[in-house]
Chain A
Amino acid sequence: MNKIKSLDDLRKMKQSLEHGMNIREKSNSPESLVQIRVAMATCGIAAGARTVMNTLIEKIEIEKIPAVVTQGGCMGYCYAEPTIEVKVPGKDPVVFGNVDSKVAIEIVEKYIKNGELLDGIIPTNYQTINE
């Protein structure tokens, strides 16, 4: 990758960034994207939410999945942190607990790509507080 440091470097890189993005992502409609929300309250962060977030971002790039990784607050599942909520377009959101990097990769490969369910799902009778 080119060396990038100043805002001018960023300006020059903009085109190549744009080329690399797939069309669906450029359409900029969040409904067409897979939304992955990583719970990032104290408990989640302490349990390794940042590592999981980095892994997810890397993995969706490798797999070229149009997805957005965002952060959420505490959902009350401190015992199962790190937790992530995955919303595939047209489906109900699913919450996975005890997600480490290995599980995160499995979630992308199995659930997001193929729709297979995995162990560690938390029933969705919750309500998120900070939408």
Chain B
Amino acid sequence: MNDLSLHIIDIIQNSLSAGATLIKLTVNEDIIGDLLTIEIEDNGKGMTVQQVMSLEDPFFTSRTTRRVGMGIPLFKQSAAQSSGDLVVLSEPGVGTKVTATFKYSHIDRPPLGDLANSFILMVSANPKKEFFLRYLYNGSEYCFDTVEVKEILDGLPLYDPSVIRTLTTMVDANIKEIKDEN
């Protein structure tokens, strides 16, 4: 994985496989506190305590097409090499929350990558699911909610390339503005 936004896609894919219909992504770039936090919360089927415990084992996977599961171990490795950590909280029937933290200034912290592109790709590829993005930079925040956006688009398909481009530009512009102001 070259950047953290790819890990985000990977974890969102897990949420989708778990049958989630609502996925909340929070990215908090706290330069002052020297901390980067990425949180992905879903309302999927959740996991038992035992399943959560075996997550860090690369040879644990619920998938049947292959016998290894590297998603969480790789994400955890990225966090750990940046003096951070990865915590998974889950409850069967309720959902799962994955929180990864990174020391912002750590030389081994992977770059965040193209967050707007990664997020909007997930939104457009799964038009029936709801996504919520909360992006924070030194305390200022921007929120994107597919419920609102779909209401405005009023039936226009989210998978249309021009819609994808427009939404990506919109999210990107907001992220850049918050960054420039702070």
Contact A50 B117 (CB under 8 A): yes
Determine if A76 is an interface residue (Cβ-Cβ < 8 Å). Answer: yes
Report the separation of the CA atoms of residues A68 and B154 in the bound assembly, to the nearest whole angstrom: 18
Contact A25 B121 (CB under 8 A): no
Determine if B124 is an interface residue (Cβ-Cβ < 8 Å). Answer: yes
Contact A42 B152 (CB under 8 A): no
Determine if A23 is an interface residue (Cβ-Cβ < 8 Å). Answer: no
Q: How far is the CB of B174 from chain A (nearest CB, A)?
A: 6
Contact A69 B1 (CB under 8 A): no
> Which listed segment binds A: B24-32, B84-92, B99-107, B163-171?
B163-171
Determine if A97 is an interface residue (Cβ-Cβ < 8 Å). Answer: no
Contacts A5-B170, A5-B177 given; indicate if A74 touches B156 (C-beta within 8 A).
no
Question: For residue B66, which residues in chain A have a CB less than 8 angstroms away from its CB?
Answer: 74, 76, 78
Contacts A1-B169, A46-B1 given; indicate if A73 touches B152 (C-beta within 8 A).
no
Contacts A5-B170, A58-B161 given; indicate if A69 touches B125 (C-beta within 8 A).
yes
Determine if A80 is an interface residue (Cβ-Cβ < 8 Å). Answer: no
Contacts A5-B173, A50-B117 given; indicate if A10 touches B149 (C-beta within 8 A).
yes
Contacts A14-B152, A58-B161, A75-B65 given; indicate if A42 touches B173 (C-beta within 8 A).
no
Determine if A45 is an interface residue (Cβ-Cβ < 8 Å). Answer: yes
Q: How far is the CB of A123 from chain B (nearest CB, A)?
A: 15
Contact B6 A46 (CB under 8 A): yes
Question: For residue B167, which residues in chain A have a CB less than 8 angstroms away from its CB?
Answer: 10
Contacts A14-B152, A61-B162, A75-B65 given; indicate if A69 touches B124 (C-beta within 8 A).
yes
Report the separation of the CA atoms of residues A112 and B17 in the bound assembly, to the nearest whole angstrom: 28
The contact sample of 21 A-B pairs, CB cut-off 8 A, is A1-B165, A1-B169, A4-B166, A5-B173, A7-B148, A10-B152, A10-B166, A14-B152, A14-B154, A21-B157, A40-B13, A42-B70, A42-B74, A45-B9, A53-B125, A54-B117, A70-B126, A70-B159, A71-B122, A78-B66, A129-B65
B interface with A by C-beta (< 8 Å): 1, 6, 9-10, 13, 16-17, 63-66, 69-71, 74, 117-118, 121-122, 124-126, 148-149, 152-157, 159-167, 169-170, 173-174, 177
18 further A-B pairs in the complex, CB-CB below 8 A; given A45-B1, A71-B13, A78-B66:
A3-B173, A4-B170, A4-B173, A5-B174, A5-B177, A10-B149, A10-B167, A14-B152, A21-B162, A41-B63, A41-B71, A42-B69, A50-B9, A50-B121, A53-B121, A53-B125, A73-B63, A74-B65
